[in-house]
Amino acid sequence: MSLTRRDFLGCSALCAAAAAVGISNAGESAVQGKNLALIHDETKCIGCRACEQACREVNQVPDGVSRLKLNIDGPYHKEDQPYYVFTRESCQHCQDAPCISVCPTGAAFRDEATGIVDVDPFKCVGCQYCLAACPYRIRFINPVTKAADKCDFCRKTNLAQGKLPACVEACPTGALTFGDLNDRNSELVSVLRNARTVRDKLDLGTNPKLFRIPSQKPGVL
Ligand code: SF4
Ligand code: SF4
Ligand code: SF4
């Protein structure tokens, strides 16, 4: 999932508004409960992949498929110093999620208590409509359950035990901030208010809730 020039320029004009929109939309559209979201600060990320590994272990994700991918691009060079760009690829927990609207069985759903987009494997018939409808291409069929699968912010594992998502717990640099968009006193909302954030493919109207603090990519600025 790369930051295109178009995405970035769109952000430059709108980034301050994007965070505000994210916060205000969430407050308006959440029926009840929380509206959980995640920020990946690419400027703090060191590409260690501890998040990927923790996700796999905690959620028992089988080999060959992933709920979370950490992309490493580079090396690029600045003043003869090499550097890399790290981006996260996982479910965006869209407020207006096409995966939910195309699902014929109700297996793809939003948890009203948390705002998390999730999958009920017992209702899933494996038709793959949701895989085709997701503009972020992050869904897959789990080879063990034979159901659609993806990141659920550890709703059924760590969150159920009162813990943070596994990736957030494992990150050694504080690059991941998780919290409730409806809680104006949360660290997440504070970061959104104070940092320049972007969201991918905003023009599609999905209203994603995975925010990025982008690192500089050559040829973009
Ligand atoms: S990123 Fe894809 S799977 Fe996740 S909520 Fe959005 S459309 Fe659904
Ligand atoms: S694969 Fe499962 S979750 Fe996806 S649209 Fe079909 S029934 Fe719904
Ligand atoms: S654990 Fe944190 S620093 Fe390491 S790759 Fe993941 S987000 Fe980046």
pLDDT of residue 32: 65
d(C-alpha 134, C-alpha 94), whole Å: 10
Asked whether residue 218 is domain-assigned, the answer is no
* Number of domains, the chain: 1
Residues contacting ligand 2 via CB (< 6 Å): 102-103, 105, 107-108, 119, 124-130, 148
Pairing mode, strands 176-180 and 140-141: unpaired
pLDDT of residue 46: 96
Asked whether residue 179 is domain-assigned, the answer is yes
Q: Please classify residue 201 by burial: count the beta carbons closer than 10 Å to its beta carbon, then call 0-12 exposed, 13-18 middle and 19+ buried.
A: middle
Asked whether residue 109 is domain-assigned, the answer is yes
Q: Please classify residue 21 by burial: count the beta carbons closer than 10 Å to its beta carbon, then call 0-12 exposed, 13-18 middle and 19+ buried.
A: middle
Pocket test for ligand 3, best of 1, 38, 70, 87 (most atoms within 8 A of CB): 70
Q: Encode the chain (221 residues) as per-residue pLDDT tens digits.
A: 333 333 333 333 333 333 433 444 443 444 468 999 999 999 999 999 999 999 999 999 999 999 999 999 999 988 888 899 999 999 999 999 999 999 999 999 999 999 999 999 999 999 999 999 999 999 999 999 999 999 999 999 999 999 999 999 999 999 999 999 999 999 999 999 999 999 999 999 999 999 999 997 654 43
Token duo for residue 163: 């813990």
Asked whether residue 103 is domain-assigned, the answer is yes
- Tell if the pTM clears 0.85, that is, is over it: yes
Q: Which residue lies with its CA nearest to atom 4 of ligand 1?
A: 91
Asked whether residue 45 is domain-assigned, the answer is yes
| Residue 12 lies in domain | 5-213
CATH code of the domain containing 160: 3.30.70.20
pLDDT of residue 217: 64
- pLDDT tens figures, 174-215: 999 999 999 999 999 999 999 999 999 999 999 999 999 999
CB within 8 Å of 155: residues ≥ 6 apart: 111, 114, 116, 118
Asked whether residue 53 is domain-assigned, the answer is yes
Asked whether residue 79 is domain-assigned, the answer is yes
pLDDT of residue 6: 33
Pocket test for ligand 1, best of 69, 91, 149, 199 (most atoms within 8 A of CB): 91
How many residues make up the chain in this entry? Answer: 221
DSSP track, 7-29: HHHHHHHHHHHHHHHHHHHHHHH
Asked whether residue 39 is domain-assigned, the answer is yes
